[in-house]
Amino acid sequence: MFNHPNVPRSGARVKFSLRGIGGFMKVTEHIKNGNGKTQFSFEILPPLKGENIHSIFENIDPLMEFQPPYINVTYHREEYVFKELKNGLIEKKIVRKRPGTVGICAAIQNKYEVDSVPHILCGGFTKEETENFLIDLQFLGIDNVMALRGDAVKSETYFTPEKNGHKYACDLVSQINALNKGTYLDDELQHTFPTDFCVGVAGYPEKHMEAPSSESDIHFLKKKIKNGAEYIVTQMFFDNEKYFKFVEKCRAEGITVPIIPGLKPIAVKSHLNLIPHRFKVDLPDALVMEVVKAKDNKAVRQIGIDWCVKQSKELVKAGVPFLHYYSMGKSSNIKEIASQIF
């Protein structure tokens, strides 16, 4: 039998990745290659169903001058819609308003030759579906993922996992880590290939909305790291002291992985109520009063940019590995901020 020196023998266990082709790397490798310099990254939403991918490219293109090594792509789980039928019965329909995360990630890597980081959720996935999702990513050469529990669907007050799905992000991380060791759900499989995913998880400087205390929140964050997560990206915050104290608490608890700050600029007056309600974060009084006194949303947008620039400069000075911006599908204000930082 012919054996090429660079082709593994049948049955050999190898790491299966396209890294090196096109320069794709793990997020942790990008951090290492930064040599202490703060780098730029951002997060995008998949387009609404019915829109095309060019709407995504139009928001990414203006930000590529800042050389992001990777781009995060969110995953939006299904929603339940209740529709009354002619016979008076109620039909429960499952609707996905923003599909396409995997396809967008592949398109980003192909078009821009930078890494993409898809979000993978507990919500809406069985363990089998999670494994298949990860296999699809592996075949596409995508080996960075952000493992999240996800929110409850709009029709539910509290998060409910799928039957035979994960209830907590730490368990999702465990499944990904097992796959990295070649352990699949079907234990009768033979000659399995280990994957090579770099796993990021979320951290909450002002604690997760469902956590009873910040101490318990960090306890479970530590569990995610123990189960195989390699870095943390924080929820948005508007007071850098919240981030610095969070990092300090994590280090005191033995969490040593990189902690990347997540930032979002205020853009319209309605954000004063929407952001605290949706994300359970506090807005500093100084920022709130500036926005309250603003004559219109154009002025609010500039206030948000100026505030985020001030945050960014202080964080760069503190030596953070990345500044990660939540673009929410809008890139113009992120571009104005990044142009003053990078």
Show the 3-state SS of the chain.
CCCCCCCCCCCCCCCCCCCCCCCCCCHHHHHHHCCCCCEEEEEECCCCECECCHHHHHHHHHHHHHCCCEEEECCCCCEEEEEECCCCCEEEEEECCCCCHHHHHHHHHHHHCCEEEEEEECCCCCHHHHHHHHHHHHHCCCCEEEEECCCCCCCCCCCCCCCCCCCCHHHHHHHHHHHHCCCCCCCCCCCCCCCCCEEEEEECCCCCCCCCCHHHHHHHHHHHHHCCCCEEEEEECCCHHHHHHHHHHHHHCCCCCCEEEEECCCCCCCHHHHHHHHHCCCCCHHHHHHHHHCCCHHHHHHHHHHHHHHHHHHHHHCCCCEEEEECCCCCHHHHHHHCCCC
| Mean pLDDT to the nearest integer, 269-298 | 95
Q: How many Å apart are CA 95 and CA 91, to the nearest integer?
A: 12
Domains with residue ranges and CATH for the chain: 27-338 (3.20.20.220)
Please report the pLDDT score of residue 289 as a whole number: 97
Per-residue pLDDT reduced to its tens digit, 251-263: 999 999 999 999 9
Mean pLDDT (the chain, rounded): 88
Owner of token pair 């995997």? 102
Per-residue pLDDT reduced to its tens digit, 60-118: 999 999 999 999 999 866 665 566 667 767 765 666 555 789 999 999 999 999 999 99
The answer to whether the CB of 289 falls within 8 A of the CB of 300 is no
Q: How many Å apart are CA 230 and CA 107, to the nearest integer?
A: 25
Predicted TM-score (pTM) of the model is 0.88
* β-bridge partners, 116: 71
The answer to whether the CB of 26 falls within 8 A of the CB of 33 is no
Confidence of residue 295 (pLDDT cuts 50, 70, 90): very high
Per-residue pLDDT reduced to its tens digit, 236-248: 999 999 999 999 9
Confidence of residue 132 (pLDDT cuts 50, 70, 90): very high
Enter the tokens of residue 258: 């990189």
Please report the pLDDT score of residue 131 as a whole number: 96
Enter the tokens of residue 238: 């508007």
Buried b (16+ CB within 10 A) or exposed e, 104-120: bbbbbbeeeebbbbbbb
Per-residue pLDDT reduced to its tens digit, 1-52: 334 433 344 444 444 344 433 458 999 999 999 999 999 999 999 888 878 8
